[in-house]
Amino acid sequence: MSHAAALIRAGKLVAFPTETVYGLGANALDAQAVARIFEVKGRPRTSPLIVHVDSIEMARGLAAEWPPAAEALARRFWPGPLTLVARKAAHVPDVVTAGLATVGIRVPSHPIALALIREAGVPIAAPSANRFTELSPTTAEHVRRSLGAEVDCVLDGGAAAVGIESTVLSVAGGRLLLLRPGTIPLPDIEVIAGPVSIVSEAPEGPHASPGMHTRHYRPRTPLVLLRPGDPDPPGKGVRLSLMSPAAHGIRMPYDPLRYAALLYQTLHRLDQEGWEWIAVEEPPDEPAWAGVRDRLRRAAR
């Protein structure tokens, strides 16, 4: 941990586990280090990064404004898979935020992530540790397979428990906007902070949140979304189902949290098996499934 923290302070890249997916981290206050994240991932500069901190106090230090809704949501859901987008403080480099006046911040709940932030003594900017638009990594092996030797250090913390990226909510400008759904259902957020508007597609230019590109979270094998009961595509493939039996199928849990925890792990494994396609039955159109549905919809485009 001391070695990894020293690398962060020296402007190097460290891949580390969070409860959502593995992140590719750099000192968020070092613009040159952050620029290397974009280079290694092949990520466009229009896609901002999430900054990981170890406390609400550190989060406030990165924000020019910290409204009551941000405080209430942070106290309820942090540490955990919620990113809050607030107006950024002047010392946050523009490269982190895609030149926008806002910054996404969260406190991860994984003990290794928290230990790394504390040992390094700086906030850590970290998107998922994979090539841009590809399937996010949920194990250290996924990171190595995607990025190879381009990362200066990989901390192995086992499989990610949540399995998909964080919910992203903007609290800037006096409005609450859901920019990316995750495993926290929208009604649970609204109980704490009040009504939230949903932003379903990214505008032209810089995006207010990561994960808003139309095509994202994609395995190398073509992924097809099906309604329950739809026939399989032609050729040799495998089907992820909730209810329907399939000749070459995998039964997924009928529980949104368990499904999310297994989704990327399962897709990574199937990518290695040489199928012509992966067919996935659409999960229920319910708030608890919104994060999973979002990832599958973008992966299938």
Q: What is the pLDDT of residues 120-170, one digit of tens each?
A: 999 999 999 999 989 999 999 999 999 989 999 999 999 999 999 999 999
Please report the sign of the dihedral spanned by the C-alpha atoms of residue 290, residue 54, residue 32, residue 144: negative
User: Which pLDDT score, from 0 to 100, does residue 210 have?
Assistant: 77
- CB burial of 84-93 (b: ≥16 within 10 Å; e: otherwise) equals bbbbbeeebb
Assess contact for 219 and 270: CB atoms under 8 A: yes
> 203 pLDDT exceeds 70?
no
Residue 63, classed as helix, strand or coil, is: strand
Residue with tokens 């949903």: 198
Domain ranges in the chain with CATH number 3.90.870.10:
2-198
| Helical segments of the chain, H only | 2-9, 31-41, 56-60, 68-77, 111-120, 140-147, 186-193, 256-271, 290-299
- Total Cβ atoms within 10 A of residue 180: 26
Question: Among residues 217, 236, 198, 239, which one has the least CA distance to residue 297?
Answer: 217
More confident residue, 204 or 269: 269
The pTM assigned to this predicted structure is 0.95
Provide the pLDDT confidence category of residue 202 given band limits of 50, 70 and 90: low
Provide the pLDDT confidence category of residue 216 given band limits of 50, 70 and 90: confident
Order of strands, sheet of 237-241, starting from the edge strand that comes earlier in the sequence: 223-226, 277-281, 237-241, 249-251
- Cα(167)–Cα(75) distance, rounded to whole angstroms? 15
- Total Cβ atoms within 10 A of residue 116: 28
* Domain covering 2-198 assigned CATH 2.40.30.10 in the classification: no
The tokens describing 25, both together, are 């981290």
User: Which pLDDT score, from 0 to 100, does residue 217 have?
Assistant: 87
Question: Among residues 259, 252, 250, 281, which one has the least CA distance to residue 164?
Answer: 259
Provide the pLDDT confidence category of residue 244 given band limits of 50, 70 and 90: low
Residue 284, classed as helix, strand or coil, is: coil
- Cα(56)–Cα(28) distance, rounded to whole angstroms? 16
The tokens describing 63, both together, are 């924000």
Q: Work out the end-to-end distance of the chain between its first and last CA atoms, rounded to an integer number of angstroms.
A: 39
The tokens describing 258, both together, are 């368990």
Assess contact for 152 and 10: CB atoms under 8 A: no
- Cα(279)–Cα(249) distance, rounded to whole angstroms? 9
Residue 171, classed as helix, strand or coil, is: coil
Phi and psi torsions of 147, nearest 5°: -105, -15
The tokens describing 219, both together, are 């395995």
Residue-wise pLDDT for 84-93, tens only, equals: 999 999 999 9
